[in-house]
Structure 1
Amino acid sequence: MADLMDTEKARASGWFETLRDQIVTAFEGLEDSQTSGPTADLPAGRFERTVTARTSEDGSDAGGGVMSVMRGGRVFEKVGVNTSTVYGQLGEAAQRAMAARGVPGMADDPRFWASGISLVAHMQNPHAPAVHMNTRMFWTPHAWWFGGGSDLNPCIEYEEDTAHFHATQQAHLDPHGTDHYPRLKAWADEYFYIPHRNRARGVGGIFMDDHCTGDWESDFTLTQDIGRAFLPAYVPLVERRRDMPWSDADKDAQLIHRGLYAEYNLVYDRGTKFGLTTGHDANAVLMSLPPLAKWV
């Protein structure tokens, strides 16, 4: 199966890099066009790219990626758009986790390959919502699947923003079957929930994991369209809110909400746990954390 999947792996990792480049270009364009509002006098932000590497337990090369981070821009206080392609052998804890998810044969052959894109944006303006997006492909000699989605995390909620975000995602999912959007929306509501706070971390979105119908081409196309939905779902919200004035109370609400976001990512997020337990660059894995946060 490994030899048969080489072409598919290359196509998937290439797509994640293409999507990253599209998003980076769009976000730098937002920075350049921010010529009014409270932060217009700041320098237009630019992404800094850092190559990341993963080393296996025996010291051999195990892949890596590119961490693209912008800090202190006019629109984005901190945003990261990371891509990675890693491979090697899963450790015992990861093998057990895979077995618990129904992946057979991991104890006999624990090889894996994973590639994806991960994005988190924290905004200067409290009225502009934070956002998360991730899509990925995972392979073992025994199975392959896709996962990911995107969800909106405003500290000040606007019903029209939430409606636009969800409607755009539904428009991209419906061509694949009208059952996809309600199922992936419900999955996101369940996944992005913080039990110890008894609340969701945001206003939802879409999410899927372990997605494998047996038709790789169809599953890859669905994953691509989840990625394609991101910019038209999100950029209009930023353009709508980025010039709004804010108060000290608004900023305080943003910092408290960021604390909630950090709690979720450090305690519950499956991708964070996987990245740290498999030896990937910790700075890249923890890119999602906000630059500033507070707790009451």
Structure 2
Amino acid sequence: MTDTVTEWIKRHAHPLSTQDAWAPLDDQSPWGDIVGDAPLVALGCSTRQTHELSTTAHRALRFLVEEKGFRTLALEGDDPERLGLDEYVRTGDGDPLAMLAEARPFLRTGEILDVVTWMREHNERHPHDQVRFARLPEGARLEPTTRRELERQLADDVLWWHEHTGDKIVYWGGIAHTAVAPGSLGGHLRERFGSGYLSVGLTFEDGALPWPITAPPADFAETPLSATDLDTFLLDLRVARPEAVRAWLEAPTKTRMIGPTQDPLEHLSDGAFGDWFDVVGHHRHVTPAHLIAG
């Protein structure tokens, strides 16, 4: 079974050729067919602390804005309006480095600064067709006290912004939220948008965060992805697949998720890889994100 799955992955994988956020987007063209007409793409990172996963998300964002008409980035983890980032990308007012120094720790990276800088440069080139950050609903908000309440609030915030603006939205956050599962943000948005919600899982085999991270156990869903020997690739999990691949995608499994203070052995479970994600962007090796002052 493993050989069949690995061969299927190798046959349908789209290699990504660079980890330079600013390089031409020639290797990003598969996103065109993968996204189709979906109005909401979620880039769920198994960790927010690596250069490679952040750069893959950044380059996907660039393609979706430049080629697919997306105009909003919903950046999970902090309020860009509170930080002043939304004002900066629209007008150029302020110092984005100082703003990010006030953000949550996993957003204080050179990779996120690159995203903000690119958004500002895009808006300078297109002053009448700008890309922006999603804002939170106006008025008083109750603080969620349970995980279920948090997931519902995250989903409601995205729904409010979509209904308020009509924008196509890229949601960039953690894999535990974006995966399609009962009660998750991804689960709520799948209920609302159906196949118009595209769940993308950004995964990896090993590397540093900056502490060393070894390959996950063999029973994790990433194992067949790493067996391809491809460094970095996109894979649409919805394409035609033989019985062995269906079994892999539909079987109960685990996939790694590592937060800023979580145990590196933490993982997503109680679901199937093919239910959680429509697309996967896998990386064999990762290196730490570049921290900025703050």
State the TM-score, normalizing by the size of structure 2: 0.25
The structure that has the greater radius of gyration is 1
More strand by share: 1
